[in-house]
Amino acid sequence: MEIASGPISSCSKEQLKIYQTWFNFADSDRDGRLTGNDATSFFAMSNLSKPELKQVWAIADSKRQGFLGFKEFTTAMQNSISLTAVTSVIDGLKILYNEKLKPLEATYRFNDFVSPFLTSSDFDAKPMVMLLGQYSTGKTTFIKHLLQCSYPGAHIGPEPTTDRFIVVMSGPDERSIPGNTIAVHADLPFTGLTTFGGSFLSKFECSQIPHPLLEHITFVDTPGVLSGEKQRTQRSYDFTGVISWFAAKCDLILLLFDPHKLDISDEFKRVISSLRGNDDKIRVVLNKADQVDTQQLMRVYGALMWSLGKVLNTPEVSRVYIGSFNEKPVNEAAAGPVGKELFEKEQDDLLLDLMDIPKKACDRRINEFVKRARAAKIHAYIMSHLKKEMPALMGKAKTQRRLMDNLQTEFEKVQREYYLPAGDFPNVEHFREVLGRYNIDDFEKLKPKMIQAVDDMLGYDIPELLKNFRNIYD
């Protein structure tokens, strides 16, 4: 939904003269304002549809006066609305992002603090499923089991075999594309990974194979999370940062556990913590469950839930799938007939969950877009508040240090001032780390027009967009 607007001050004298003539023509009772029949009769000549006229009125009558004065009338005349370029909800979101949300993000450098700017490929990307777990929990085998075939770069063994991030996606033939190449491919949603540097890109690759399932879903295979100092010192890139980046892009995150490796190390705990804000995407898979008998399985399940309760800081219970997700038949000798039936039902449930992903992809895009818009607004409030706290002349460095040391307190002030939910605020430590690279005084003061544009987008444009592309039988 393309909306281009400009203030009266940008009008030429000739335009204002024309608008004044039109306003006088429309204002039949000469009371200096357009109401009711005056407005509907005049705007009907535009041949715009009722929803389009409704949007023109909503934008022009921003104060909700119920009438248009000459100033508001000029605003209405300057709003050109065209739905011809919008052929889907995703197209509409692209336009709304570039025209209303991206300017706010750019002004307050949201792309440096939270997430890089969105590109067209981010909107058009197929749904993604990321697999996470400690080494040898069956992540690569799980993907092979779903595809019923291997793929370039797939290595399986009891030792830590997958040493890189591998995106498994559809392609015309079997091939492997290096990370540096895929990161500059404009048609793929991975350009944002360049921020993690060459060290990461050398450990990133794309595996393409022709497969019907991959026409609808892309899988992300990740390196197994190591224990101890190896996880931090032997990886030359920000592992948790990369996981967090993929988590924001993915539609589903599968946490895989092995019944013989239930301990959640501090490193794995940090990785799970990096999924903050994406809790609704997480599903837990207790893999290789046919390697223990029924009694042991009950104990393993209880221990797993207890461990997860300390890591996933949510009151809701995560969905846990139990099974043996590989090409081998279930070990009935260990699992027994009851276990075999349970595993088959659990596998069917997980497959149904995966099959639902493409159907829900558009809803997920909208959900992520709205979440991003709210995060960008909060970021703008925070940065403008910090800017307001800075002195005009002396003591800027000292004030910046004080503000950074007391960020949590400043967040609470912003929360109270704008009545914002505490759970929507960014991580204080990460925010402080990024803020240290900037001078707070260089940021802009709060721009109410930008905030209003995002509010209009959330309150009017997106609902109207969804209405335009709703099911005709609803």
Class of domain 89-118+370-468: mainly alpha
CA 442 to each of CA 243, 396, 448: distance values in angstroms, whole numbers, following the listed order: 31, 11, 18
Give pLDDT, residue 360: 85
State which of 54-63, 268-277, 355-364, 383-392 shows the largest mean pLDDT: 383-392
Concatenating the DSSP letter of every residue in 418-464 gives: HT--GGGSPPHHHHHHHHTTS-GGGSPPP-HHHHHHHHHIIIIIHHH
Per-residue pLDDT, 77? 67
pLDDT one-digit tens code per residue, 136-171: 788 888 898 888 888 887 776 555 556 789 999 998
Comparison of pLDDT for 205 and 32, the residue scoring more: 205
Is 60's pLDDT higher than 80?
no
As a whole number of angstroms, the distance between CA 328 and CA 138 comes to 13
Chain region(s) in the chain for CATH 1.10.268.20: 89-118+370-468
Rounded mean pLDDT, 381-392:
92
> How far apart are alpha carbons 33 and 414 in whole angstroms?
39
Highest mean pLDDT among 249-253, 260-264, 309-313: 249-253
Worst-scoring range by mean pLDDT, 72-76, 80-84, 147-151, 403-407?
A: 80-84
Angle at 308 between CA 305 and CA 311, to 5 degrees: 160
Alpha helices in 134-188 (DSSP H): 139-147, 179-182
How do residues 400-435 score in pLDDT, each as one tens digit?
999 999 999 999 999 999 999 988 899 899 899 999
How large is the average pLDDT for residues 334-357?
A: 81
Q: What is the pLDDT of residues 98-135, one digit of tens each?
A: 999 999 999 999 999 988 899 888 898 899 999 998 88
Is residue 261 within 8 Å of residue 226, measured between CB atoms? no
- Residue-level pLDDT at 307: 84
Between 194 and 313, where is the model more confident? 194
- Least Cα distance to 102 among 380, 350, 340, 325 occurs for 380
User: Which residues sit opposite 81 in a β-bridge?
Assistant: 3
Which residue is it, tokens 């409704």?
54
Residue 330's closest CA among 321, 339, 317? 339
Give the model's pLDDT for residue 227.
67
Query: What mean pLDDT do residues 458-464 have?
Result: 91
Are the CB atoms for 182 and 205 separated by under 8 Å? Answer: yes
pLDDT tens per residue, range 14-23: 777 777 777 7
Where does the pLDDT of residue 59 fall: very low under 50, low under 70, confident under 90, or very high at 90 and above?
A: low
Looking at the chain, the domain(s) classified CATH 1.10.238.10 span: 2-82
pLDDT higher for 341 or 373?
373
Between CA 405 and CA 382 the distance in angstroms is 15
pLDDT mean across residues, the chain? 82
- Evaluate whether 305 touches 340 at the Cβ level (below 8 Å): no
pLDDT at 168: 94
Cβ atoms of 340 and 324 closer than 8 Å: no
What six digits make up the tokens of 55?
A: 């949007």
Task: Tell which wins on pLDDT, 267 or 66.
Answer: 267
How large is the average pLDDT for residues 232-243?
80
Q: Is 50 exceeded by the pLDDT of residue 7?
A: no
Alpha-helix residue ranges (DSSP H) falling in 284-406 = 294-311, 332-389, 396-405
Supply the pLDDT for residue 58: 67
How much is the pLDDT for 160?
56
Instruction: Check residue 225 and report its DSSP letter.
Output: B
CATH 3.40.50.2000 fits 120-328, yes or no: no
- Tokens at 144, concatenated: 């092979």
| pLDDT number for residue 156 | 65
Domain formed by 2-82, architecture:
Orthogonal Bundle (1.10)
Residue 440 has pLDDT above 60, yes or no: yes
pLDDT for 115: 85
Confidence band, pLDDT 50/70/90 cuts, at residue 250: very high
**Confidence check: pLDDT of 26 > 90:** no
Burial annotation 151-168 (CB, 10 A radius, 16+ → b, else e): bbbbeeeeeeebeebbbb
pTM, rounded to two decimals: 0.75
Q: Where in the chain is the domain with CATH 3.40.50.300?
A: 120-328
Mean predicted confidence (pLDDT) in 63-83: 64
